[in-house]
Amino acid sequence: MARAFGAVLYRVSLTRVLPSFRRQTTLERVGFLGAKLTIMPSSGERNFQGVRRIWTSRPVCMGRRSCKIAGRKDAQNLKKMKRNSKIGKEIVAAIQKGGPNPTSNTVLAAVLEKARELEVPKEIVERNIKKASEKGQEAYIEKFYEVYGFGGVGMVVEVLTDKVTRSVAAVRGVAKDCGAKLADPGSILFKFRRAQVINIKANAADKDQLLSIALDAGAEDVIEPPEYEDDSEEDRPDSYYKIVTSSENYSSILSKLRDEGIGFEPDNGFELLPFNPIEVDDEAMDLNKDLISKLLELDDVDAVYSDQK
């Protein structure tokens, strides 16, 4: 029986995918003893030329929750790197508009203070101060590029760039390489609203406590971190509550959080929030994650927002 079963595996491993199945992403066969043989093509293939991999049982995959948790720490590190990069650009822009003296240039003084609070490395600050005085340094322009993701997901790419042609070409190139597409201006952006957001680690505060502080300070909403059936306590440090507020109440809420000893993410607070987040399957989630990751690797890109849950 074992020899016969092995023969079936060998025959299946050599079988080429039939044309009628080329549009499928997963092929399944049932062998002896009811074992399911799953044939998976290589990622990104559109016309399958052969069999990529075989399992004799359902393949073990990370799945929706595990995929998110595995990427949270990397995402937070990348977020910090991007935040430092954006502050560097803001330093250049402030100096170009008001000069290098923070005493007379209040905008520059505010940016340098924010850099200090965020613990931006000194070399980044100094490098961008020097960059601002270089000949030929163009002014930075804020741009938003819109991308059609996978599973009906829309993405907005936030850019602060001194070369618009370079940034749009880079974003378009990444989208194309990942099988996505750059959207016309306004096609996706209307699905989002710009809001002042305070991010608080899920293990840093009690839900009821946050709701009480937010309501007392006039916050618009408190968005809870997503929960999954098999969540554990060690997962909570990598998930966040989001307090959504107006600019007028932002400082007041920060003061109340400090008074209560609740730590929060020190950033500029502005984010694009989707009006109606949408669910996608695991395959689309993985594809979108890869697309976002590659977009964030671009120097000009400061943030990527999507309406995926």
List pLDDT tens digits, range 158-194: 999 999 999 999 999 999 999 999 999 999 999 999 9
Least confidently predicted of 43-57, 83-97, 289-303: 43-57
Is residue 304 within 8 A of residue 292, CB to CB? The reply is yes
How does pLDDT run across 23-33, given as a tens digit for each residue?
A: 444 434 444 33
Q: What is the pLDDT of residue 178?
A: 96
What is the pTM for the complete model shown? 0.66
Kindly state the percentage of the chain with pLDDT values over 70: 70
State the amino acid at position 91 in one-letter form. I
CA-based max dimension of the chain:
86
Q: What is the pLDDT of residue 56?
A: 32
Q: What is the pLDDT of residue 251?
A: 84
Kindly state the percentage of the chain with pLDDT values over 90: 36
Cα–Cα distances (Å) from 45 to 37, 136, 206, 284, in that order, read 20, 44, 46, 15
Which sign does the torsion angle of CA 114, 117, 118, 121 carry?
positive
Domain spans of the chain, in order of start: 2-55
How does pLDDT run across 55-100, given as a tens digit for each residue?
A: 333 333 344 444 454 455 666 677 778 888 888 999 999 999 899 9
Cross-strand partners of 158: 144, 303
Residue 104 scores a pLDDT above 70: yes
Mean pLDDT of 116-136: 88
How does pLDDT run across 188-243, given as a tens digit for each residue?
A: 999 999 988 988 888 888 888 888 888 888 888 888 887 655 555 554 556 788 89
Q: What are the tokens at 248?
A: 């007028």
What is the distance between the alpha carbons of residues 214 and 257, in angstroms, rounded to a whole number?
A: 9
Query: Mean pLDDT over all residues of the chain?
Result: 77
Q: Are strands 36-40 and 27-30 parallel, antiparallel or unpaired?
A: antiparallel
